Structure 1
Amino acid sequence: MSFDFLMTDHPAWHAEGHRTSRILTLDTGAAWIIEVRGQQVTTTHVHGEQTPPPLDVFSLPAAPRPQAEPIHAPLVRMGSVARLRNPSLWEALATAIIRQVIRAGQARRLYRDFCSRFGDVIAPSGETDFHTFPSATRVLTLSDDEFAESGMSFKRRPLRHAATAFLNHGRSWAELSPSVLVKELQTVSGIGPWSAGATVADWSNDWALYPYADLAVRTWARHANPHHRWAADEPAFARQWRRLTGEHLATYTLLTLAYGTQQAGTV
């Protein structure tokens, strides 16, 4: 597999020197360790199913449509971008809840602390310990005090609602098309359009479903091309972004977020 940049937006990714790695789980309990060094990808099977989802690679056409020129040049310079689809719908949903209305760095810290406190520990070959995200069943056993001690009091109710809904409907949700799933998730208390879209984009790698006018996309589009006259408010930006990106909406959205992780340089 050939790619130029690994997108590490998900808080499960950890960087140590030239090694970037994460635990990857399925809702069935299967688990793998994914390790990336340059373009070398190594998968260590832990338990359960033998085959993890592959990295998906995204790239833009060399010649942009005229409307896309304001954003095309800084993104096409990134080359091809690889992103690992999250195969756990529960974990994708819970991660989106943790990311609600807080900065990415804070969400990353909360996510990792929650995993280290309440997730399962996996240490392949006695090396780095990886902590899985706690299952929906485990989340429902946590007390108010345990949420508070992990800094997650504000996330307690939506996580509990989501865990209950997932245990009741997760199997049928996984059979829905991504566009239908976005609507279905919004029937859960505490899950709005942003959380539903972010969940399904993470789970399916269909980034046309991501809330592409959110603060992250607006911020990094302006950073990539500060000279362009970007729309100031979210609805106007959404319309502008659709006009610029056209049939490549998903790829431009993903690459803009990948550009942000590259610029921020945090894993």
Structure 2
Amino acid sequence: MKVRKVTAAATVALALSVTATACGGSNKDDNGSGGGKKITIGIKFDQPGLGLKTPDGYTGFDVDVATYVAKELGYSADDIQWKETPSADRETALERGDVKFIAASYSINDERQKKVDFAGPYLLAHQDLLVRSDDKITKATDLNGKKLCSVTGSTSAQNVKKTIAPKAQLKEYGTYSECIDGLSGGAVDALTTDDSILAGYAAQDQYKGKFKLAGLKLTNENYGIGIKKGDTKLKDKINKALEKMVKDKAWDKAVKDNFGPAHYKNEPAPKIGDIVK
């Protein structure tokens, strides 16, 4: 009986040891204080120049920014688990805790700030139009009676339809890639979203010469890093990381690497908390 008691006790001790190792064996906590845990970051998977999933991994300006921030939080590139976060799912992903933060061409606005917090901004983009290279659309009002495409959950097309071209026929697709296919095939006449996104598509090899940017600055889009509402500690850490990225010129390098081939004329790096209306 004594042997059985010792064996049972040993079994319990072993189980407790395994549980402790599984739950807390890493030195790193969820805020990135160092160690070996993973961090899940939300990005887009289908935006060339910003967030694109390829057979070789993930590329884009948002990816570079997120990787830099994660490193400053204590995570290596190998610690990052990338999660696709379409425009319509970003707030939900943060509220549920599916991701630690989101860097996905996520424009800061009053409505979104009711649900989530933002670090940054880290890029100032502008809403524009992408049209076929032989199209005569030169201004937003030319869209009246035309088929305008954007993605579900994006504010870009709503801005045009409500304030500039109320007679535009709005077509909402699940991804920008679907809009691009529609534009290429003639199902839609224009795609509207941020110029940084449009430039990335226009610069792809398969689309060179097919599309052009209208060159309009319809809105100011302040890209921020989305975090769960109320997580001020993480917000402060990310803001410090973004400031460091600009200071050590890593921000400039990321812009050149990702937007250079598209001849994208970016705005200077914005100051933290400086939201351009």
Flag whether TM exceeds 0.5 (same fold): no
Q: Which has the higher strand share?
A: 2
Q: Which TM-score band (shorter chain)?
A: under 0.3
Q: TM-score, normalised by structure 1?
A: 0.24
Q: TM-score, normalised by structure 2?
A: 0.24
Q: Which has the higher helix share?
A: 1
Of structures 1 and 2, the one scoring higher in RCO (CA 8 A, sep 6+) is: 2
